[in-house]
Amino acid sequence: MRYQPLSKDLYIKNRARFVKGLKPNSIAVFNSNDIMPTNADGTMSFRQNNDIFYLSGIDQEESILVIYPDFYNKKQREILFLKETNENIAIWEGHKYTKEEATEASGVETVMWLSQFKSTFNTLMAEAEHVYLNTNEHIRAVVEVETRDARFLKWCREHYPLHKYERSAPIMHKLRAIKSTEEIEAMQTACDITEKGFRRVAQFVKPGVMEYEIEAEYAHEFLRNRSRGFGYTPIVASGFSACVLHYIDNNQECKDGDVLLMDVGAEYGNYNADMTRCLPVNGKFTERQKEIYNAVLRVKRGAMDMLRPGNVIPEYHKEVGKLMESELLGLGLIDKTDIKNQNPDWPAYKKYFMHGTSHHIGLDVHDVPNIYQEMKPGMVFTVEPGIYIREENLGIRLENDVVITGNGLNDLMANIPIEADQIEDLMNS
């Protein structure tokens, strides 16, 4: 791994918090992600399952975490099962955790090899009543590939059909909603790396540059700062492409007079940043571009004022919609007749602002916490309003990542220039 690991104390605390959500005499199992194949003998880069990482800090394939807090043998109340290495693996794949290293990383005292899993698990299951299994229950997830967790669920139900099965996901969603100080520090690092990339790119952009060249500039800066790279597929969209919300081709030339929308974020230690900034390709906004830009910036600031403990995402989005409606009226993009005749389920402002303003962010870019729960200190959200005018080949979105505190917000991207004048000065310095 490139990043500096977080302290094992964090994972010890996370497991203790998870255990409080279990029914008496329960066992819980978490599996790592698969290494996904491509073609022939090719594979994708490994990305750890965020739940086992949250509970253990173990960032390695073929790992299993078992938690059974009520088991009579204290040494087996937490067990990590790892892939046993050998000389051949070491030569071809590199170093894997030793048992001692896994304990140091996770705080789990009992570490076994995977070859011991079935017999040990059978002993534990003979005493357990409830079995907590993990599934991906994100409300926007589209899962077509069977995961290790899904395969284990089938295997477990087949071999132990009479146990009482429970869901780990609701507990994990609740826990992961509130970020610890250590997690916020990791996210701040991801945001700081993103800032370095943005400042590099702002000096690079000019008419004639290709979008993929800009993507490469970000990648260079991210990798040299201990990031694995992008937290998600980057959007580098100039001109009309900025009106395509999930544009990822990044293959067009940036032309004089266009605005470039960049939705990018670095990953650090499996935690993510999510930033959007817009640059005038030639270094100076037109009056119309600046007018739209400043309208989006005002909505963003108004939205940030609403991110407070006790608010909830659906109501918050309605209020942000009112801010956007007012701005679009002022810009002449909609009129009072449009509002009077609007469909309440799809207000008039959505013609130009059709997505949500905020989402949870953390180990997942679109993090797992429930959008219907009240906002609380320690939650981290994006704030990302936008205006997209297809007929003008202009899309503007501005986005920062912020932490809700007891008395306001901690803006993790406060140091990244966002004022139109700041952007122009940075590009022309």
- Which positions are catalytic? 41, 246, 263, 274, 355, 359, 366, 384, 388, 397, 399
> Under 8 Å CB-to-CB from 398, ≥6 apart: which residues?
276, 277, 278, 293, 296, 297, 300, 384, 385, 386, 418
**Can you say how many angstroms the Cα of residue 77 is from the centroid of all Cα atoms in its chain?**
31
**Strands 110-113 and 64-67, bridge-based pairing:** unpaired
Pairing of strands 26-31, 64-67: antiparallel
66 DSSP β-pair partners: 29, 79
CA angle at 293 for the pair 289 and 298, rounded to the nearest 5°: 150
For 310: left if phi > 0, alpha if psi spans -120 to 50, otherwise beta; the answer is left
**Burial of 49 per CB tally in 10 Å (0-12, 13-18, 19+):** buried
Phi, psi (degrees; rounded to nearest 5) at 314: -60, -45
Structure-block tokens of residue 418:
């966002």
Please tell me whether residue 4 adopts helix, strand or coil conformation. coil
Given a contact cutoff of 8 angstroms between Cβ atoms, the answer to whether 239 and 256 are in contact is: no
The torsion defined by the Cα of 138, 142, 148 and 153, in degrees rounded to 10, comes to 70
